[in-house]
A and B are shown apart, each in its own frame.
Chain A
Amino acid sequence: MSDGIGARVKRKEDKRFLLGKGKYTDDIRVENQSFGAFVRSPHAHARIKGIDASAALAMDGVLAVHTGPELKADGIGDIITGWAITSKNGDPMKIGAWSPLATEKVRYVGDSVAIVVAETQALARLAAEAVDVDYEVLAPTVATGEAMNPGQALVHDEIPNNMCFDWEVGDEAKTDAGLAGAAHVTEIDLINNRLSPNAIEPRSAIAVYDDAEDHYTLYSTSQNPHVARLVLSAFYNVAPEHKLRVIAPDVGGGFGSKIYIYPEEITCLWASMKTGRTIRWTAERSESFMTDAHARDHVTTAKMGFDADGKIVGFKVDTIANLGAYASLFATATPTYLYGTLLSGQYAMPAIYCNVKAVYTNTVPVDAYRGAGRPEATYVVERMMEKAAREMNMDVADLRRKNFIREFPYQTEVLLAYDAGDFDAVLDMAQQAANVAGFQARKAEATSRGKMRGIGYSCFIEACGLAPSAAAGSLGSGVGLWESAEVRVNPVGTIEILTGAHSHGQGHETTFAQLAADRFGVPIDNVSIVHGDTDKVQFGMGTYGSRSGPVGMSAVMKALDKVEAKVKKIVAHSLEAAEDDIVIEGGEAKIAGTDKKMAWHEIGLAAYLAHNLPEGMEPGLKETSFFDPVNFSFPSGCFICEVEVDPQTGTTQIVQFVAADDFGTIINPMIVEGQVHGGVTQGIGQALMEGVVYDDDGQLLTGSYMDYCMPRADDVPSYTIGHGCTPSPNNPLGLKGCGEAGAIGSPVAVINAIVDAIGTDVEMPATPSRVWAAIQASSMPQAAE
């Protein structure tokens, strides 16, 4: 089957994008349009003493200025966090109220204070500048590692020490005992640098209010329009669900940053009702840097103990995680259940203990970004493994092999039970592709050119397709984690698949269609995918956490099962055969071993004409499914990075990058490899150049692409990709999810390679100045004793 599972089918959605005919939110025009702009706090921490909008309102063409107290008076709810974390002493997490428009205090630079609505975008922005807010400036709390210190300003007056929760996982006593008895203990201090996701399409919203129907429509750059509608309805009280339609049209990248329902969407919807005008708002890039959820930002100390043979006997990790000013939707789950639970890595560890303290600071909220918690866990585990190997004079790959998990399912000491994997095979594959055997010769040649060459590994595992709903609920999740699908066979035999997953670059219009093409042998051009509109698709949880494959496609498979069963009944009845004798292939249903058959369009027509259906069968051919997985899936992989560092300048060049993954079954290798390329590049960005910087006053210094360094084409190499395959037993296709692996596994491979090259530790981002300084510091002549 040329368009079926495993085929490199070219993308069906490409044409409209290539012709410039994609329809992104800001491309859409709705009647009665006006423009919104936000008045934002210029201070990291301040009390609002008064707001004077008279100058703005006096400008010709300014329609309205609305503020926080008005929004509260209309009953608009505070922004929620979706996962309840319990501290180790049993206390619930402490949540600071987050009003979509600030009422009493502003808590980060960019915090929204008011919305201005005007006839043009330029005027709205000008008028926002003219709104005079009287602030009493307060001292801010900025640095992650200092947020809990005595005397630090309180981000939320009622939350002591700025601490949201003090969470733990694993067995501390057992881990301490393991470390106490260890032959060798390696210690490491790490900072996981703060990032900005930077989808190239800025966030955008068009809010439409229809007073005749008392109905709202929101066009939004959302990864999960149904979740947006649910939250806007149930928690923010914008409108009941049946009076609110959310459309996420073409969306220009998400990477997690478009999961959340931000103040702007809520405020635009509410203000569209207040003004009776359609309100269009699109972020400028500087606004994206100021208000899109940031990522990572951990300060960690870790200890790992080994026996005399190099086997891990205990692993203890203490992390302070920065939540920013408010707890965003997944912010509390990310540094806990998506981080501490992954600290066993690919290794059999008899004892693990992780403590995470989450702190509020006067910075933009931090939330899930490609990988979400798992890159941070991988960074700790894999920095540790290479540091320990060097300290024990062992080969970095040998130490890993000595500790690999080899029997599945494997119950870790930190809640998760791994489903499947073959870590040796993937490491072998990566080592072969990277020609590790030839490394010393390459290093010698580089040395002759005055370059420092190093090689670094990352053997990682992640958990994707968060599930099952009941287990997640017992751990504090506020949502179900299933996915829905509907398969409609039309009377002419064409097929529409409606999915609650959302594509913002992942290629669902191709890969989801491959499932139907594979199952029924119909041409892929006869299959279309419908997604991203709450009026069309019944419900769905959207796309994040690499869940479209393992969860979303599984729902489609279940719906296809039901369609297939009904088709067999219809055909068996029409052809007077037994259901068990019906075989579906090549777009036809046949009686096995005969030439009696019905073409796909004949079957569709029969179902809808309903002239000759089996007794009691309902007409039509449309089936729905909700799929709730029994467990996470666990993609794993081995990345090997080779770098050359110029000791004169500290510049790092990545000369080779091998990414060998185990994603289980692969639907479309072309698309999967594209996901890996993109994820690895984001990880290289984190390792070498990306980093959000706030100064001591909480001013954002990295507010544009001139200050925040994004990876460009000449910063990265061409990649070598390999695929292992141990199918997940937890879903019908054996899928594990491929969206995040690149970003999870790559930062630490790059840093390990640099550390190998220069012989000393360096933190992310390993900019030329940092690398140069590290080389200088390590090669300083030692003072005489």
Chain B
Amino acid sequence: MSSITMTVNGKAVSQDVPDNTLLSDFLRESLRFTGTHVGCDTSQCGACVVHVDGRAVKSCTTLAVSLEGASVTTVEGVANGDLHPMQAAFNEHHGLQCGFCTPGMIMTGIDMVNRYKAAGKPLTEKAIRAELEGNICRCTGYHNIVKAIEDAAANM
């Protein structure tokens, strides 16, 4: 058991957790942010992606105790009154069907746009597809996810 303190979606949280607690379990079970999903055991599917200190991280392979003092943002934390431009673009372009992979796609998409903008690089369709390597969607065939991220990049 360890005591950890971190900021999740802008609010300070402090809890005792077993040392082997995964961030995904901490978010889902302890804090009840169930928007972060777990779709595999091997860090492949990306449904669990959250932001840790502004970087996309797979929460299913991150130990909660390793994040002392970190700032974590989940899909529940990105909208500010209105939908975040990435969320709005997914609705506009039908970038989701069952919705299960969607939180990971949104968090990966935001991270991707932020990184490319910071580097001054264009986010082409090819780049988006390559950047989605760590996120699996079984419903959409990616076609509309790619369109949504392209569109959101223009509005972020």
Listed in ascending order, the chain A residues whose CB lies under 8 Å from chain B are 10-11, 13-24, 26-27, 29, 122, 198-202, 250-253, 255, 284-286, 504-507, 670-671, 673-674, 677-682, 704-706, 710-714, 716, 718-719, 742
Contact = CB atoms under 8 A, between A and B. Distances in A.
Nearest to B126: A714
Contact of A713 (B44, B92, B99, B129): B129
The residue in B45, B79, B97 that gathers the most chain A C-beta atoms within 10 A of its C-beta is B97
Given A704-B42, A705-B44, A200 B138 contact: yes
Interface stretch (B61-69, B100-108, B115-123): B100-108
17 contacts: A10-B94, A11-B94, A18-B75, A18-B102, A20-B33, A20-B75, A24-B34, A27-B34, A201-B100, A202-B39, A253-B138, A253-B139, A507-B97, A678-B138, A678-B141, A710-B44, A712-B132
Interface string B33-45: 1111111111011
B106 A18 contact: yes
A161 to B, nearest CB: 36
The residue in B74, B83, B102 that gathers the most chain A C-beta atoms within 10 A of its C-beta is B102
B6 interface: no
A507 B99 CA distance: 10
Given A674-B140, A710-B136, A718-B143, A19 B44 contact: no
A714 B129 contact: yes
B76 A20 contact: yes
Nearest to A12: B91
A713 B145 contact: yes
The residue in B96, B99, B128 that gathers the most chain A C-beta atoms within 10 A of its C-beta is B99
Given A21-B76, A505-B99, A677 B137 contact: no
A21 B132 contact: no
Contacts of A506: 97
A678 B139 contact: yes
Given A24-B100, A705-B136, A718 B125 contact: yes
Given A250-B99, A674-B144, A712-B132, A200 B45 contact: yes
B72 interface: no
Nearest to A681: B141
Contacts of B57: none
Contacts of B100: 22, 24, 199-201, 252-253
Nearest to A704: B42
Given A285-B42, A674-B97, A704-B42, A20 B74 contact: yes
Contacts of A286: 41
A20 B130 CA distance: 25
A17 B133 contact: no
A22 B99 contact: yes
A714 B130 CA distance: 6
A interface, over-half SS: loop
A286 B42 CA distance: 9
A14 B42 CA distance: 28
B123 to A, nearest CB: 13
A245 B109 CA distance: 39
Nearest to B140: A678
A511 B112 CA distance: 32
Nearest to B76: A20
A751 to B, nearest CB: 18
A357 B80 CA distance: 59
A253 B126 CA distance: 26
B44 A200 contact: no
B42 A18 contact: no
Contacts of B106: 18
Contacts of B38: 202
The residue in A14, A681, A705 that gathers the most chain B C-beta atoms within 10 A of its C-beta is A14
A674 B100 CA distance: 16
B79 A719 contact: no
B57 to A, nearest CB: 16
Contacts of B26: none
Contacts of A679: 141
A251 B99 CA distance: 9
Given A200-B39, A200-B47, A704-B40, A505 B143 contact: no
B63 to A, nearest CB: 14
A14 B90 CA distance: 8
A201 B37 contact: yes
A285 B87 contact: no
A288 to B, nearest CB: 9
Contact of A505 (B39, B98, B146): B98
B90 A18 contact: yes
B77 to A, nearest CB: 9
Contact of B138 (A20, A682, A713, A718): A682
The residue in B41, B44, B91, B139 that gathers the most chain A C-beta atoms within 10 A of its C-beta is B139
A201 B39 contact: yes
Contact of B87 (A11, A19, A284): A19
A559 B12 CA distance: 52
Given A11-B91, A14-B99, A253-B97, 5 more contacts: A10-B94, A200-B37, A711-B141, A712-B142, A716-B141
Contacts of B32: 29
Nearest to A197: B138
A713 B39 contact: no
Contact of A677 (B74, B102, B140): B140
A122 B75 CA distance: 26
Nearest to B147: A718
A714 B44 contact: no
Contacts of A20: 33-36, 74-76, 103
A505 B28 CA distance: 22
B75 A252 contact: no
Nearest to B128: A713
Contacts of B143: 674, 677, 716, 718-719
B99 A252 contact: yes
The residue in A21, A200, A680 that gathers the most chain B C-beta atoms within 10 A of its C-beta is A200
A250 B42 CA distance: 24
Contacts of A714: 126, 129-130, 132-133
Contacts of B101: 200, 252
B111 to A, nearest CB: 15
A118 to B, nearest CB: 15
Contacts of A122: 20
Nearest to A285: B40
A506 to B, nearest CB: 7
Contact of A670 (B20, B94, B146): B94
Nearest to B34: A27
A199 B79 CA distance: 27
A145 to B, nearest CB: 29
- Going nearest first, the 8 A-B pairs with the smallest beta carbon separation are A20-B35, A252-B100, A17-B99, A505-B98, A681-B141, A677-B141, A705-B44, A505-B97
Contacts of A681: 140-142
A469 to B, nearest CB: 29
